[in-house]
Amino acid sequence: MFCTQSSSVVLLLALLISWGVYHGFKHRSAPLPPGPRPLPFVGNALQMPRHNIAQSLASLSEEYGDVIYMHVFGIEFIILNCAEAVLELLDHRGALYSERPHSVMAMDMIEKKHAVLFHQYDENLKKHRRLLRNAVDAKRSEDYWQMQYAESHKLMAAFLTSPDDFIAHLRRSAGAFTLRLAYGYEVQGGPGEDAFVNLAEELARVTGVASEPGRWLVDAFPWLRHVPAWFPGAGFRRWADHARRVIDDFATQPYLSSKEAALQGISSFASETTEFVEAETGRPLTRDEDEFLKWTSASIYSGGTDTAVAVNSAFLLLMALYPAAQRKAQDEIETIVGKDRLAVMEDRPRLPYIEALMKEVHRFIPITPLVPHSTRVDDEYRGYRIPKGSWVIANTWAVMRDPRLFPEPEVFWPERYLAEGNRCTEDPRDYAFGYGRRRCPGVHVAESSFFIFVTHFLAVFTVSNPVDERGQKLTSPGPSTDAHISHPRPFRCTIKPRNQALTELILQL
C-alpha cells in the first residue's frame, strides 16, 4: 500500500535502518498477537491489502483469530475484528486508547493535526468536544429540525427536477445544512456551483488519501519529509502542499464568512460561541481563541457533510436492491403518517420499521469501516502485548458482519431488530459512530437528518434499477470505497415520484 516515493538506494537504506531498529529495540515480554509471517526488511508491506481493505483484513481472522498483528516498515498495526476486543480496548480502556496514530503525512505535512478528527487526546481536544457537545447534543439537536426539514424539501424538489444527478444533490444538501449550522452561510447556486460545498468535497478526497493506513512511506521514515519537492520521487511533497492549501481554505474561508453573517444578525455555531466567550471574559476573542474556534467550527462542516452523503447514498442503493424492504417502509409511512404530509421528528417513535431500516443500513454498509486509534502506553490484552504507539484499528465492517451479533449477516433484513425477527438486541449504531472518548458527538443531529431524508424520500419517491458505472445490473452492494469515509462505488438508479399530492406539495414549498 506504500507509494513509491524515493530512489531505490534511499529506500534500501531506510529499510535496513528500520529493520535494525525494529528488531533491536522491540520489547519482548508478552507475545504479540498472531498475524501473517513478515518478510525481512519490509515486514507485512506486501501482505497489506490494497483494495477492499476492511473485508480483506476481516478474512485474516479465519487463520489468525480476531486480534491480529502486522507491521510495515516498523509501523505496528493491531487489527481488531470483533466487537468484544473493540469495546474492551477502545471503550472500557478509553483512557489508554484515545489517541490517533501519528501520521507524518496527515498531521505534520498537511497539518491536519489541528482538525478535531486527527487531534491528539489532550486538553485542547477535550475543550473542542465540550463545545461540540453543547451545540449538537440530544436536546440542542431539536433546535435544528426546522432547518433540516427545509433542506430536505429543497432536496426532494431537486430529485423531482433532475433525479439522475442524485449524488450531486445529496452533496449540495448536506453541505447546505452544515454550512448554515456552523457558519450561518447560505449555499449559492445548484450542484457543483458553490465554492464552499466544492471545498468540502475536495477535503473529503484529500483526507481519505492522507489518512489511508500504510499508503505513505514518509509515515515510516519521517526524514523523507525533508526531501526537496523537486527531487525525483518526491511527488508526495507536492501533493502535501496542495492538500495543506485545501485544508487551510476549508477551515478559514467559511469561518470568515460567519463573521460577515453575524454582522447581518445571522446566528451560527461560530457566532454564538464567540458571543458566549466574549460575554464570559468581557473582551474580544484572543488570536489563539479565534484559531481554536475556527477549527472547532470546521469539524462540524467536515464531520457532517461527507458522512451524510455516504449514508444517504448507501440507503438509496439498498432500497433499489431490496424493493420488498422499500415497499414495507413506504406502507408503514402511509399507514402512520398518511399520504398528504411529510413525516416530522415527532412521528419517529411510531415508525418502528423505519427505525429498524435505518439500523440495517448502518450495519450493511458502514460508512467508517476502519477506525484508527492508538495507545499511549504498552498494554496487554488476552495475554498479548499491544505496543505503545501502534495503530489499533477497529474493523467496524467485520463487527457488522459477525454472525454472533447479527445472524445471517449477509442478508439485508431490517426485521432482525423487531419482534418478528426475534429482536436482535445489538444496535449497529453503537459501532457506526466511533468508539470511546472519540465517538462522534454529533450523532443526534446525524440521525435526525437521516430519519428526515429516509421518510421524506420514501413518501415521495421509489428508487429502482441499480446499475454500475458500466451499466451492468447490480444484485448486491459490492465493496464500498476504501476512503476514511466509505461510499458505495459509483452507481446509477431510477428515481420516480410515487405520490402526486406530495409531489405538488414539494413544488409549492
E strands along 195-319, which residues?
none
CA dihedral 433, 435, 441, 445 (to 10 degrees): 20
In this predicted structure, the answer to whether residue 208 has a pLDDT above a threshold of 80 is no
Whose cell is 530512489? That residue is 7
Q: Give just the sign of the alpha carbon dihedral 234, 390, 81, 122.
A: negative
Q: Please give the mean pLDDT across all residues of the chain.
A: 88
Give the C-alpha separation, 81 to 399, whole Å: 6
Q: Give just the sign of the alpha carbon dihedral 85, 388, 375, 487.
A: negative
Q: Is 82 annotated as a binding residue?
A: no
Name residues whose C-beta falls within 8 Å of residue 292's C-beta, 6 or more positions apart in sequence: 124, 127, 128
472-505 pLDDT, tens digit each: 999 999 888 888 889 999 999 999 999 999 999 9
334-375 pLDDT, tens digit each: 999 999 999 999 999 999 999 999 999 999 999 999 999 999
Closest CA to 234 of 146, 105, 353, 356: 105
151-180 pLDDT, tens digit each: 999 999 999 999 999 999 999 999 999 999
240-258 pLDDT, tens digit each: 889 889 989 989 999 999 9
pLDDT at 397: 97
Contact 236, 3 (CB under 8 A): yes
Domains and CATH numbers, the chain: 8-508 (1.10.630.10)
Quote the pTM value: 0.90
E strands along 171-284, which residues?
none
Give the C-alpha separation, 236 to 221, whole Å: 13
pLDDT at 28: 55
In this predicted structure, the answer to whether residue 307 has a pLDDT above a threshold of 80 is yes
Give the C-alpha separation, 410 to 406, whole Å: 9
Please give the radius of gyration of the chain, using alpha carbons only, rounded to the nearest integer: 23
pLDDT at 361: 98
Q: 3-state class of 71 per DSSP? A: strand
In this predicted structure, the answer to whether residue 17 has a pLDDT above a threshold of 80 is no
In this predicted structure, the answer to whether residue 447 has a pLDDT above a threshold of 50 is yes
Of 79-83, 437-441, 442-446, which range is least confident?
437-441
pLDDT at 1: 42
